[in-house]
Amino acid sequence: MPITGLTRVLAVIGDPIDGARAPEALSAVMADLDLDVVVIPVGIGSDGLAGFVKAARSWRNLDGILVTMPHKAAMCELVDHLSAQARLTGAVNLVRRAPDGELWGDQVDGEGFANSLTARGFALEGMHVVMLGAGGVARSIAFSLAAEGIASLTIVNRSRERALALVDDLDASFPALRSSVGDESAVATADLLVNATSVGSVVQPGKPLNDLTLIHPGMIVADVVAKPIETALLLAAADRGATTHGGDLMQKSQFASIVEVSQGRPGDRE
Amino acid sequence: MPITGLTRVLAVIGDPIDGARAPEALSAVMADLDLDVVVIPVGIGSDGLAGFVKAARSWRNLDGILVTMPHKAAMCELVDHLSAQARLTGAVNLVRRAPDGELWGDQVDGEGFANSLTARGFALEGMHVVMLGAGGVARSIAFSLAAEGIASLTIVNRSRERALALVDDLDASFPALRSSVGDESAVATADLLVNATSVGSVVQPGKPLNDLTLIHPGMIVADVVAKPIETALLLAAADRGATTHGGDLMQKSQFASIVEVSQGRPGDRE
């Protein structure tokens, strides 16, 4: 579809932006859906973020901003409204621009992850989950899994302090959830293992789980890493008879939320 | 060429932007040249212009801004440097962003027009020219034609005051040029007639010259209107044996200057 004066814009902001895959991947989705939306990379550092967000309020054919590293936390302070998910995770990865110029910050990482599992027919309710990591993506996933009614969540993280903070926040919003900080031995009895760290990606190769023999047949092993899709963790999980769930599926599911922006749906606002 | 994190951006700013042809036309030029540049429409009103320009300083993969109505005059105050052509015309239609974030304002309307004529082999030096209009585009064309060494320029304009101001400015920079305010009877002895008004365009149909019989064989009749390419003026000129020169040629020639932005050439700086 040619870009004309009528084309709407979705900005992908980050620093650096060179390696961002979202512009190409999302452009393909927009084209598939026959949406007249161009997805552009915007390379802006932290010192320029507030200025760009201010300009976005006046930019009438801008549908929204997909926020990548390192701007997710800072974006919380710059938008006019925060969704529950963004407030809980302290991070915004999607900004919707309303026709009146107001900006609505949302966090669709966790929602995308949870939706990608339910789309495959997995019932999350009652599951015992082990999550590796307690960073921004991990927080978002934890709150979304909690909202889906998982029974327990064991958080395994290098920084115990950060993991404890997440448990506290989960307890405040989801008192019925049994959440705790633990170690990877919990994988032995888990229904779902989630790697929410970047270990296993091309930029940080390796295994986020030290003892791969804890993986057992019948469990689901999910990875947020999308490049490569077949991480060392998922290859080991497949070898051991577990069901694997790649980061590409989470990404595709997130796209649904992002595409909504360009279709003029309000999304999760409060 | 797919849009990736490495793609550079050229913004076309205006209000309204819906009808802008530059995004599509320039995208095609960029594709022809295998340049990884996306040309996007940016619909921003006067109250948001300064904010966008400020953000542009931090936007590292932004090559430049093509400025359309109504922002050309206001842009003069917002950039860090003005080319001679921009300063003389009091308008900026192209902003180049240097790698250090500094913004260089230029005016390539007139240059594009003059180049489009010389590209067809017409020698402008010594020509007697009648120009209809004394607005922004007209000023730019007048200075470029003067720089090419035309012998005389007669300006025909509804507002005599504005035409006189242009003559004063031309006299200051090009004392050898015989410039004057006149009426359309001057067309009878002109080598070149330029319509630099929007009369004849789809939004303002009509003829910018009342007495079409003043057009004579051997002269050149040029129009800045590009939509339609065959304006009432050019159709009449062709009927009367004159050589016609459409607004599309000026536009194509301007593209060369704009493409330079994305090729990292400094352009006309001072």
Which of B40, B47, B60 lies at the smallest CB-CB distance from A38?
B40
B9·A40 Cβ contact <8 A: yes
For B59, name the nearest residue in chain A, comparing CA atoms only: A44
Query: Looking at the complex, does the CB of residue A25 fall below 8 Å from at least one CB of chain B?
Result: no
Task: Give the strands of the sheet with A8-14, arranged side by side.
Answer: A37-43, A8-14, A62-67, A94-97, A103-106, A81-82
Q: What is the nearest CA distance from A167 to chain B, expressed in angstroms? A: 36
pLDDT at B263: 77
Interface check for B55 against chain A (CB to CB < 8 A): the answer is yes
Q: How confident is the model at residue A265 (pLDDT cuts 50, 70, 90)?
A: low
Residue among A9, A12, A54 minimizing CB distance to B51 = A54
Q: Do residues B58 and B29 lie in contact, with contact meaning Cβ atoms separated by under 8 Å?
A: no
Lowest-pLDDT range, A44-48, A151-155, B84-88, B259-263? B259-263
Give B21's pLDDT tier (boundaries 50, 70, 90).
confident
The chain-wide mean pLDDT, for chain B, equals 93
Residues of B in contact with A55 (CB under 8 A): 44, 48, 51-52, 54-55
Q: How many CB atoms lie within 10 A of CB B120?
A: 11
Cβ contact (<8 Å) for B21 and A5? yes
Domains plus CATH for chain B?
A: 8-107 (3.40.50.10860), 110-250 (3.40.50.720)
Nearest Cα to B245, choosing from B158, B116, B110? B116
Which class for B213: exposed (0-12), middle (13-18), buried (19 or more C-beta within 10 A)?
exposed
Out of A178-187, A191-200, B28-37, least confident range: B28-37
For B4: left if phi > 0, alpha if psi spans -120 to 50, otherwise beta; the answer is: beta
**In the predicted model, what is the mean pLDDT of residues B18-36?**
91
CA angle, B209 as apex, B205 and B211 as ends, to 5°?
125
The answer to whether residue A270 scores a pLDDT higher than 80 is no
- State pLDDT tens for residues B197-222: 999 998 899 999 999 999 999 999 99
- B105, B97 in Cβ contact below 8 A? no
Tell me how far apart the alpha carbons of residues B34 and B13 are, in angstroms, rounded to a whole number.
23
Enter the pTM of the model. Answer: 0.83
Average pLDDT over residues B249-265: 81
**How would you classify the pairing of strands A94-97 and A103-106?**
antiparallel
In this prediction the ipTM stands at 0.82
> What per-residue confidence (pLDDT) applies to B264?
67
A52 interaction partners in chain B (CB closer than 8 Å): 55, 58-59
From chain A, the residues in CB contact with B58 under 8 A are 44-45, 47-48, 51-52
Is it the case that residue A215 has pLDDT exceeding 80?
A: yes
A51–B61 C-beta distance less than 8 A: no
Q: What is the pLDDT of residue A262?
A: 77
Q: Closest residue of B to A25, CA-based?
A: B4
Task: State how far the Cα of B33 lies from the Cα of B221, in Å rounded to an integer.
Answer: 31
- Beta-sheet strands, E only, within chain B: 8-14, 37-43, 62-67, 81-82, 94-97, 103-106, 128-132, 152-156, 178-181, 192-195, 220-223, 243-245
B13 in contact with A, Cβ within 8 Å: no
* A168–chain B nearest CA distance, Å: 37
The pLDDT tens digits for A108-143 are 989 999 999 999 999 999 999 999 999 888 999 999
- Please tell me if residue B203 touches chain A, with a CB cutoff of 8 Å: no
Q: What percent of chain B has pLDDT over 70?
A: 97
Please state the rounded mean pLDDT for residues A8-25: 93
User: Residue B84 and residue B232: Cα distance in Å, rounded?
Assistant: 34
List pLDDT tens digits, range A50-81: 999 999 999 999 999 999 989 999 999 999 99
Burial A26-49 (b: 16+ CB within 10 A, else e): bbebbeeeebebbbbbbbbeeebb
- B21 interface with A at CB cutoff 8 Å: yes
Is A23 in contact with B3 (Cβ distance < 8 A)?
Answer: yes
B3: chain A residues, CB-CB within 8 Å? 23-24, 27, 38-41
Which of A86-90, B156-160, B264-268 shows the lowest per-residue confidence on average (mean pLDDT)? B264-268
| B39: chain A residues, CB-CB within 8 Å | 3
pLDDT tens digit string along A134-191? 988 899 999 999 999 999 999 999 999 999 999 999 999 999 999 999 999 999 999 9
Chain A nearest CA to B142, separation (Å): 29
> Is some CB atom of chain B closer than 8 A to the CB atom of A203?
no
One DSSP character per residue, A213-245 reads: GG--TT-EEEE---SSSS-HHHHHHHHTTPEEE
Q: Which residues pair with B156 in a beta bridge?
A: B132
Residues of chain A with pLDDT > 70, as a percent, come to: 97
What digits encode the pLDDT tens for the residues B39-73? 999 999 999 999 999 999 999 999 999 999 899 99
Residue B270: pLDDT over 50: no
Model confidence at B265: pLDDT above 80: no
Residue A24: partners with Cβ closer than 8 Å, 6 or more residues away: B2, B3, B4, B5
Judged by a CB distance cut-off of 8 A, whether residue A38 touches chain B is yes
Nearest CA-CA partner of A58 in B71, B4, B10: B71
Average pLDDT over residues A195-202: 94
Give catalytic status of residue A207 as yes or no.
no
Q: Does A39 touch chain B (CB under 8 A)?
A: yes
> Is it the case that residue A267 has pLDDT exceeding 50?
no
The pLDDT mean for chain A works out to 93
Residue B84: phi and psi, rounded to 5, are -55, -45
Residue A268: band (very low, low, confident or very high) from pLDDT cuts 50, 70, 90 = very low
Give the residue, B253 or A182, on which the prediction is more confident.
Answer: A182
Asked whether the predicted pLDDT for residue B9 surpasses 60, the reply is yes
